Structure 1
Amino acid sequence: MVSIASWNIRGLNRIPKQQEVHEVVVSNRLSVFAILESHVALSKLNNVCNSVFPHWSWTSNSNMCAIGTRIILGLDPSVAQLMVVTATDQVVHCLLSFHCGKKFYVSFVYAANYYIQCRQLWRDLYVHKQFVGDHPWTIMGDFNASLSLEESTASSSNVTIAMREFQECVDAINMADVNYSGLHYSWNQRPNSKTGILKKIDRVMANDMFIGDFPDAYVIFQPYRISDHSPMVLKLPDVSGSKPKPFKFGNFVVHNEAFQKVVKDGWGVEVHGHLMFRVVKRVRLMKKAFRKLMWSKGNIHDRVTKLRAELDSTQVLLDVNPDSVPLRLAEKNKLQEFNEALIEEERFLKQKAKVEWLRVGDSNCSYFHKVVKGRKNRNHIHAIFDNNDNVVEGDGVANVFTQHYEQFLGMAANYDSIDDPDSLFTSRISSVKAVHMVRPITSQEVRKAMFNIGR
Structure 2
Amino acid sequence: MAVWNIRGFNHPDKVFACKNLIHSFKLDLVCILENHINVQSLLDPFFESSHSVFPSESSCHNFHLNSSGRIWIKWNSSKLCFKPALITSQLISGTIWVARQPILQLSAVYASNNSTDRKGLWADISNSNHDNKLPWALIGDFNCCRYASEKLGGAPITMSALKDFNDLIFSKGFKELNYVGFKYSWYNQRNDNPIHIKLDRVLVNDLWLESFAESYCSLQNHSCSDHCPIILHSGLVSQVHHRFLFKNYWSKMDKFWAHLIDVFSKHSVGNPLTHFTASLKLLKECIKKEAWFSINGVKKYLDGLLCKQKELLGLLQDDHNNMRINMAYKEINADIANFTSIFNSWIIQRAKVNWLKKR
Give 5+ residue unaligned stretches, structure 1: 243-455
Match of 2:207 in 1: 209
Which letter does structure 1 place at the counterpart of 2:193? Answer: T
Match of 2:113 in 1: 113
Q: Distance in 2 between matches of 1:157 and 1:15?
A: 37
Which secondary structure state, in structure 2, belongs to the residue aligned with residue 132 of structure 1?
coil
1:22 is displaced (CA, Å) by 1.1
Match of 1:312 in 2: none
Q: Distance in 1 between matches of 2:86 and 2:92?
A: 6
Match of 2:183 in 1: 184
Is the 2:4–2:33 contact (alpha carbons within 8 Å) kept by the matching residues of 1?
yes
Which secondary structure state, in structure 1, belongs to the residue aligned with residue 152 of structure 2?
coil
Q: Distance in 1 between matches of 2:100 and 2:221?
A: 32
Q: Distance in 1 between matches of 2:77 and 2:25?
A: 17
1:176 is displaced (CA, Å) by 1.1
1:75 aligns with 2:67: no
Q: Distance in 2 between matches of 1:158 and 1:37?
A: 24
Q: Distance in 2 between matches of 1:49 and 1:218?
A: 32
Which secondary structure state, in structure 1, belongs to the residue aligned with residue 119 of structure 2?
helix
Match of 1:334 in 2: none
Output aligned runs, 1:150-299, within 5 Å: 150-154=149-153, 158-191=157-190, 193-238=191-236
Relative to 1, partners in 2 of residues 1:220 and 1:122: Cα closer, same or farther, differing over 3 Å?
same
Which letter does structure 2 place at the counterpart of 1:234? Answer: L
Relative to 1, partners in 2 of residues 1:9 and 1:222: Cα closer, same or farther, differing over 3 Å?
same
Is the 2:58–2:77 contact (alpha carbons within 8 Å) kept by the matching residues of 1?
yes
Which secondary structure state, in structure 2, belongs to the residue aligned with residue 171 of structure 1?
helix
Q: Distance in 2 between matches of 1:180 and 1:224?
A: 16
Which letter does structure 2 place at the counterpart of 1:50? Answer: S
- CA displacement, residues 93-127 of structure 1 (integer Å, 9 cap, x when unaligned): 01001239560100000000010110100000111
Give 5+ residue unaligned stretches, structure 2: 241-359
Match of 2:126 in 1: 126
Count of aligned pairs: 237
1:216 is displaced (CA, Å) by 0.9
Match of 1:104 in 2: 104
Q: Distance in 2 between matches of 1:160 and 1:113?
A: 17
1:9 aligns with 2:16: no
Q: Distance in 1 between matches of 2:157 and 2:40?
A: 44
Match of 2:39 in 1: 42
Please give the root-mean-square deviation of Cα atoms over the aligned residues, in Å: 2.3
Q: Distance in 2 between matches of 1:148 and 1:34?
A: 25
Relative to 1, partners in 2 of residues 1:174 and 1:218: Cα closer, same or farther, differing over 3 Å?
same
Which letter does structure 2 place at the counterpart of 1:174? Answer: G
Which letter does structure 2 place at the counterpart of 1:122? Answer: W
Q: TM-score, normalised by structure 2?
A: 0.62
Larger radius of gyration: 2
- CA displacement, residues 308-328 of structure 1 (integer Å, 9 cap, x when unaligned): xxxxxxxxxxxxxxxxxxxxx
Q: Distance in 2 between matches of 1:158 and 1:5?
A: 28
Identity %: 27
Q: Distance in 1 between matches of 2:192 and 2:36?
A: 28
Which secondary structure state, in structure 2, belongs to the residue aligned with residue 43 of structure 1?
helix
Is the 1:13–1:48 contact (alpha carbons within 8 Å) kept by the matching residues of 2?
no
Q: Distance in 1 between matches of 2:125 and 2:172?
A: 7
Q: Distance in 2 between matches of 1:22 and 1:144?
A: 25
- CA displacement, residues 361-394 of structure 1 (integer Å, 9 cap, x when unaligned): xxxxxxxxxxxxxxxxxxxxxxxxxxxxxxxxxx
1:10 is displaced (CA, Å) by 0.7
Q: TM-score, normalised by structure 1?
A: 0.49
